[in-house]
Amino acid sequence: MSKREAITLALASLGAGYLLGARTVLPVTESLAPAPAAPEPTLAPAPAKPKEVEAQATSESEHDSDFEDVDEEEEDADGDLSAISAEFSEPCKLVLVVRTDLKMTSGKIAAQCGHATLACYKALVKKNPKLINHWERTGQAKIALKAGSEDEILELEAIAKSLNLCARSILDAGRTQIAAGSRTVLGIGPAPVSLINEVTGNLRLL
Number of domains in the chain: 2
| Helix and strand element counts for the chain (H, E) | 7, 4
Per-residue pLDDT of 172-183, as tens digits, reads: 988 877 889 999
Tell me the CATH number at 188.
3.40.1490.10
Q: Domain of 67? A: 63-200
Do 109 and 18 fall into the same domain? no
Give a yes or no: residue 43 inside a domain.
no
> Are 161 and 78 contacting, i.e. CB atoms less than 8 angstroms apart?
yes
Give a yes or no: residue 205 inside a domain.
no
Per-residue pLDDT of 112-125, as tens digits, reads: 999 999 999 999 99
Do 138 and 188 fall into the same domain? yes
Q: What is the pLDDT of residue 11?
A: 57
pTM for this entry: 0.68
Give dist(CA 148, CA 56) in Å, integer: 27
DSSP label of 64: G
Q: Please state whether beta strands 183-192 and 167-171 pair in parallel, antiparallel, or not at all (unpaired).
A: antiparallel
Per-residue pLDDT of 76-104, as tens digits, reads: 678 999 999 998 889 999 999 999 999 99
CB environment 58-82: b (16+ within 10 A), e (fewer) = eebebbeebbeebeeebeeebeebe
